[in-house]
Amino acid sequence: MCKSMPELPEVETISRQLDRLIVGKKIKKVKVKLPKIVKAPQAVFRRALMGARIKNVSRRAKLLVFGLDNGWSMLVHLKMTGQLIFQIIKNIEQSTMKNRYTQKNRYTHVIFNFTDGSRLLFNDLRQFGYIKLVKTVELSNFFLKEGFGPEPLERDFTLADLKVLLVKKPKARIKQFLMDPKNIAGIGNIYSDEILFFSRIHPLRRVASLKPAEIKKIYSGIKKILPAAIKLKGTSTNDYLDVFGRPGKFAARLKVYGQEGKKCVKCKGRVVRIKIGGRSAHFCPVCQR
């Protein structure tokens, strides 16, 4: 299976779980074991978090956004191997017997302790993930500067919106178009492959070559596949786990991503893998034209 960072369904899963678990909790202490993970002066970081309550947890693109009650927001990017693991201290002994990921380990770089005895661990094997602080009133400007495109699962993201975006990039290859967060937020390697297989469109196709019916199929694939993946708590292809240390179950539903050399589920041809701009694309050369 190929390596891929958590995408929209995985980050949305974590966001929803944490929004249920930690909203209202007060941060008692923050322990930073690997300073480079935190993109802020340590004193400022601790001062902003100590004693703050979690107001909400949300997602923008592949960023987790923790709203605090003191005017700050904490942004967490999991990158390739980041994990956020929630613990209730009194249950740790029991839970670690079931799952080694629910305990603190050598890849735990930041620990958020709450006043009720629970805590949140930020683990990251490859140390590409990061944590930032942004004033809540400045979040909109921050996201604007990041250049994130529209959220594909918002109700106001319509087929007409997708068409407008596509018109702006006629020479782009459709696989790369879907993966660019400046076009659409949150779709990465896994789900662009799956959306294009659903749509029966070759990943190397130029945007300008797409017919109206094909664009409609891509839009349908976005609206169908991403929610289905969220329902199954995402795709675990390498290090992704939900906040309880459990893998997502959508991997069993993957049709082409990571299926190189296997029979196509539709035509019984063989799934192939190619490189596009330094990234992989998996597809069926018979079904996808």
Q: Is 200 a catalytic residue?
A: no
**In the chain, beta strands by DSSP E:** 27-32, 54-60, 63-68, 72-77, 82-88, 108-114, 118-124, 130-135, 272-276, 279-283
pLDDT digits (tens, 9 = 90+) for 231-259: 999 999 888 999 999 999 999 999 999 99
Q: Would you say residue 76 lies in a domain? A: yes
Q: Would you say residue 195 lies in a domain? A: yes
C-alpha span between 198 and 184 (Å, rounded): 18
Give the CATH number for residue 223: 1.10.8.50
Retrieve residue 133's tokens.
């602080």
Q: Is 279 a catalytic residue?
A: yes
Q: Of the residues 7, 10, 12, 194, which is catalytic?
A: 7
pLDDT digits (tens, 9 = 90+) for 92-146: 555 544 555 556 788 999 999 999 999 999 999 999 999 999 999 999 999 999 9
Give the CATH number for residue 43: 3.20.190.10
Statement to judge: residues 61 and 83 lie in one domain: yes
Q: Is 227 a catalytic residue?
A: no
Statement to judge: residues 168 and 278 lie in one domain: yes
With tokens 């979690």, the residue in question is 54
Q: Of the residues 28, 55, 200, 279, which is catalytic?
A: 279
Q: pTM (2 decimals)?
A: 0.94
Phi then psi for residue 58, to 5 deg, are -140, -175
Q: Is 16 a catalytic residue?
A: no
The domain boundary, picked from 89, 111, 146, lies at 146
Statement to judge: residues 25 and 140 lie in one domain: yes
Looking at the 3D structure of the chain, how many domains does it have?
A: 2
Statement to judge: residues 34 and 71 lie in one domain: yes
Q: Would you say residue 45 lies in a domain? A: yes
Quickly list H helices, 119-277: 139-146, 159-168, 174-179, 189-199, 212-231
Q: Would you say residue 152 lies in a domain? A: no
Q: Would you say residue 207 lies in a domain? A: yes
Statement to judge: residues 50 and 139 lie in one domain: yes
Retrieve residue 139's tokens.
């979040």
Q: Of the residues 59, 60, 62, 233, which is catalytic?
A: 62
